[in-house]
Structure 1
Amino acid sequence: MEKRKGRSPAIVRKMLPAGQQVSDTIGLGLLLALSGGLMDAYSYLCRGGVFANAQTGNMLLLGVHLSQGDWAASFYYFCPVAAFAVGILAALFIRHWCQQIGKLHWRQIGVLVELLLLAGVAFIPQEANLLANSLISLACGFQVEAFRKIDGNSIATTMCIGNLRSAIHAAAEYSFTGVRRERTKSLTYFLVILFFVLGAVLGSRAIAVWREWAILCSSGLLLICFGLMFLELIRNGEGRDGHGAA
């Protein structure tokens, strides 16, 4: 009997919405937001008061210490900012490389690298917090660049300020126009913010118990994201989250 092509297991079809990249789904976005909140809490509470995700705070503290002539402290806050920028460039490089090869899935590869980086941070002692924070910021930079949309809406999973503005804007538009799409958009933004905060709560509790090892919780969340992308690969054959993905 001839095999049917293009058919994926039933469990895969149920978990992944047809016609939508998994990287654009609310489920993956919430997992990433949970991980993002955990990473920021970890770097701030466990690694010397540095924001892995919120580079605005690091730039502010960089400027303050520069004004005081404290070059060592300035360098301490400059490194995570620079690493964040490198993470963005790394995402673009991985995407370009996968486009050249033609079959690899750049977001999936990037998430795998990200979770391995964070797992490595767990082994870094407190004396090397500068390295730990820089690696976390590098991972966040990749995540910011690679996952920019949920259900077609521009959403960040590692910071909240832009999401909060967009959530309030969409809620106001819904109150003015009654368009249900705006209500859905607003709820999506607020849900991502909620999961980011929950990630910070999870991170705080995990740090109290496991200290430096708490970052492994973030690696675990990213491993689930990697698995969901792998399911999409099974469902789609070559997948839509690879070389041709935006």
Structure 2
Amino acid sequence: MATIHRRTDTLPVGAILASVGGFFDAYTFLRHGVFANLQSGNVVLFCVQATARHWHAAVVLLVPVAAFVVGVLAVEVLGVPRVGRLVRRPLRLVLTLQIALLAMIAALPDGAPAPVTTVTVSFVAALQFSTFTTLRDAPYATVMTSGNLRTSVVAAYQWTVGKDPAAARRAGRYAVMVGAFAVGAVVGAICTRTVGTPAIAVAAVLLTAVLVMLVRETRRLERRRTGMEPSSSTPSPNGR
């Protein structure tokens, strides 16, 4: 699988991203009755509408699914080595694109067509889902909770039965991801009901914080590498 993000995520970065994922779903569901991240939910809703012969409503539900697919493919293309040679810092590019698109949505009037919002937010969610995939030493997802919840429960069981301290730490990390997603959904619901369309700017601010954290981490690693290899002119790690 192509990747533009080779370093694993820290717990603070993962928690912020998970809260953004929860925010996305609460925002699009309250605004337009679809999910930005949970494409299985959109597929189920599509099937329900299709079996009731509500064709227009069914087709509308496929729009965010298509946007999500395009976002996943975009990250795959950026991960191709030939493209990577042209785009020096693809991870920063993706995060900047996410922030810019969310800011654009926040600036739209309340009467803007629903597909504009659902397509954009689902595309942004797909970029995040495909880019940030590893927490410490194991895979995770920032835009859904099922996998993280399963991993947390399994690790908690392993710690209870085998008294493995590593399993206890893993259970705690994934529990934080689940909790952060829930907090993001709560904040997203409150902000969306209170502010309306501009509420998505909160997610843009959170992603900006992630971008700043990753840039600082890269600079710290570059300084460390320069200190170890004074004459080295190696590029910054992982395209950040």
Whether the TM-score (by the shorter chain) exceeds 0.5 is: yes
Asked whether 1:206 is paired with 2:203, we answer no
Asked whether 1:48 is paired with 2:32, we answer yes
User: Which consecutive segments of 4 or more residues in structure 1 shift more than 6 A?
Assistant: none
**CA apart distance, 1:99:** 2.3
Asked whether 1:139 is paired with 2:136, we answer no
**CA apart distance, 1:235:** 2.1
Q: Structure 1, residues 38-95: CA drift from partner, whole Å, max 9, x if none? A: 11111111x2211111111100011111222222111110010111111111111222
Match for residue 166 of structure 2 among 181, 184, 190: 181
Asked whether 1:158 is paired with 2:155, we answer no
Q: Kindly indicate whether the alpha-carbon contact (under 8 Å) linking 1:147 and 1:156 is maintained by their aligned counterparts in 2.
A: yes
Q: Kindly indicate whether the alpha-carbon contact (under 8 Å) linking 1:98 and 1:106 is maintained by their aligned counterparts in 2.
A: no
Q: How does 1:1-246 map to 2 (within 5 A)?
A: 21=7, 23-45=8-30, 47-96=31-80, 99-101=84-86, 104-124=88-108, 125-237=110-222, 238-242=235-239
Separation in 2, partners of 1:202, 1:240:
34
**CA apart distance, 1:181:** 0.7
Separation in 1, partners of 2:74, 2:111:
26
**CA apart distance, 1:107:** 1.8
Q: Kindly indicate whether the alpha-carbon contact (under 8 Å) linking 1:98 and 1:242 is maintained by their aligned counterparts in 2.
A: no
* 2:96 alignment partner AA: L
Unmatched runs of 5 consecutive residues or more in structure 1: 1-19
**Normalising by structure 1, what TM-score?**
0.84
Q: Kindly indicate whether the alpha-carbon contact (under 8 Å) linking 1:79 and 1:130 is maintained by their aligned counterparts in 2.
A: yes
Partner of 2:232: none
Query: Which segment drifts farther, 65-74 or 231-240?
Result: 231-240
* 1:158 alignment partner AA: V
* 2:170 alignment partner AA: K
Separation in 1, partners of 2:96, 2:160:
42
Separation in 1, partners of 2:54, 2:112:
20
Query: Which segment drifts farther, 231-240 or 186-195?
Result: 231-240
Separation in 1, partners of 2:83, 2:207:
20
Q: Structure 1, residues 128-162: CA drift from partner, whole Å, max 9, x if none? A: 11220111111111111100111021111110011
RMSD across aligned positions (CA): 1.8
Separation in 2, partners of 1:236, 1:186:
28
* 2:238 alignment partner AA: D
Separation in 2, partners of 1:172, 1:51:
31
**Normalising by structure 2, what TM-score?**
0.86
SS of the residue 1:53 aligns to:
coil
**CA apart distance, 1:24:** 1.5
* 1:33 alignment partner AA: A
Unmatched runs of 5 consecutive residues or more in structure 2: 1-5, 223-234
